[in-house]
Amino acid sequence: IKENLSKQFDEVLEYSINVNSCIGSSVLTTGNLDYITQYKAILNSLTKDDVSDFIKKYLNPNKAAITVMHPEVEVDKIYENYDKANGMSFKAKSRTPLNTDNLENQVLDNNYKVSILSTPKNEVNLVLDLKCDLRNKGFNPAAIEILNLMLESGTEFKSYEEVNKLQELKNYDINASLNSKGLVLSLNSSKDKFDEAFDLLNELKNSPRLNKEEFDKAVKKMQDYLLRVNKSSNLLYTEYEASQSPYNDSLEDLKEGLKTVTLEDVNALYNYILNNSKGLASISVPKNDIEFKNIVLDEINSLPKTKLYNKQTINLYKENKNVVLLTDAKEVSQADISQVYNFKTFWEK
C-alpha cells in the first residue's frame, strides 16, 4: 500500500495543475508546504500500530450516529425504532468476485439487446440505453441540454415533487438523462416493488413533462449556469476540442442556440430519439429466480420496437503535429495551467 501511495503521489505531481492545487490547498489549510515536502517521509515512517491506533480512535462504530425517520406515533413506538437501530451490526458483508457464469445475453423481439446478471441480492437494477447519434442532425445544440433538464421535472401526469415522493414512500429510484449519444433510463428497486417502479419509469419515458412552464424554467436554469461559468484551463481546452470535432458543441454554440431554441425543437428532438434509437438494456436480478427474471424481460420486451443494435465506432483522433498552446486572460493572481495529451479514441454511435 505504501508503494502504491508513493507512486500515486509522484503521478499527481507530474501535472502542473495538480502541483498548483497541492500548493494552494497546503498553504490555505496548514499555512505551510509540509504536505508536499514531507509527504513521503511521513508515509515511510508510518507503522502498522499507527494505522491500528487511527482505526480505533476515528473509525469506532460506537461513535456512529444513526438517524431514524418515523411517522407521528406514540413515544413507545419511537423507542422501539431506536432499539431496532441500536441492534444494527456494522460488520460488512463478505464480497465475492464477479462470476461470469452468472452473465447471459439475449436479443428480444423488440430488438433490445439485453445483458443479464444474476446476483444474490433480492433486488433489481435496470438500465435502458436508447443509443441515438444526435450530432449533425440539424438539431439546435441547446435543445439537448434543455431536454436533459426537463427530464428531471416529472411526467405529464406527475410533478417533480410527486415523482420524488413516490420514490421515497416506495423506496425505489428512477432516473433519466440525455447526452449526444442518446437517452439513458435507470431503475433500482426491491423485487416486490419492481412493477410499480417500472411503470413509473415507462411513464417518464413515454410522457415526460415537456410543457411551456418547464421549458421556460430549463432555459432560465441554463442561462444562469452560463453566466456563472468561470474561465479555466480545462474549459479552454474543452472549447478548443469542440471546435475540432463535429460531435461536440462549444459554450458559444450553446449560447447562440439558447437565443432561438423553442419547445417545438425539444419535442422534435425527443420524438426523433424515440423513433430512431437502438435499444440496449442491462439488468441484475435475484439468482435462481427464473420466474422473476422472465417478468423483467417481458416488461422490457413490451417496450416499443427499436432499431437493432450493431456497434459502430468513429475515429475522432487527429494528431497534433505541433504543440498547441492555448491562452486566455483571467483576473486572478495565480496561473491556471493544464497540460493535455491527445491519444487515439473512438466515439461509439
C-beta separation of 119 from 284 below 8 A: yes
At 346, is the secondary structure helix, strand, or coil?
Answer: strand
Tens of pLDDT, residues 176-205:
999 878 899 999 999 999 999 999 999 999
- 52-97 pLDDT per residue, tens: 998 888 777 666 666 666 666 666 766 676 676 666 555 544 555 5
Give the C-alpha separation, 202 to 174, whole Å: 10
Element (H, E) at 215: helix 212-228
pLDDT of residue 243: 76
Phi, psi for residue 128 in degrees, rounded to 5: -105, 120
Helix axes 160-170, 194-206, angle to 10 degrees: 160
Q: Band the pLDDT of 124: cuts 50, 70, 90.
A: very high
The answer to whether 253 and 145 are in contact (CB under 8 A) is no
pLDDT above 90 (res 315) = no
**Average pLDDT of the chain, as a whole number:** 84
Helix axes 141-150, 263-276, angle to 10 degrees: 80
User: How high is the pLDDT of residue 216?
Assistant: 96
Question: Mean pLDDT across the stretch 33-38?
Answer: 87
Residue 133 — very low, low, confident or very high, per pLDDT cuts 50/70/90? confident
Are 269 and 121 a contacting pair, CB within 8 Å? no
How large is the average pLDDT for residues 19-23?
Answer: 84
Structural contact between residues 150 and 210, judged by C-beta atoms closer than 8 angstroms? yes
| pLDDT band at residue 122 under the 50/70/90 scheme | confident
Distance of alpha carbon 49 from the chain centroid = 39
* Residue percentage of the chain with pLDDT more than 70: 85
Q: 258: closest CA among 301, 286, 219?
A: 219
Q: Residue 252's pLDDT is what?
A: 87
pLDDT at residue 100 above 70? Answer: no
Over residues 276-298, the pLDDT tens digits come to: 999 999 999 998 899 999 999 99
Query: Of the segments 7-16, 39-48, 259-268, which one has the largest average pLDDT value?
Result: 259-268
Nearest residue to 69 via CA among 197, 171, 166: 171
Which of 119-123, 240-244, 319-323 has maximum average pLDDT? 119-123
- In whole angstroms, give the CA distance from residue 200 to residue 126: 13
Position 75 scores a pLDDT of: 64
- Per-residue pLDDT of 236-270, as tens digits, reads 887 887 777 766 778 888 899 999 999 999 999 99
Contacts of residue 216, Cβ cutoff 8 Å, sequence gap at least 6: none
Over residues 5-13, the mean pLDDT reads: 80
d(CA 230, CA 331): 11
Strand-pair partners of 286: 119
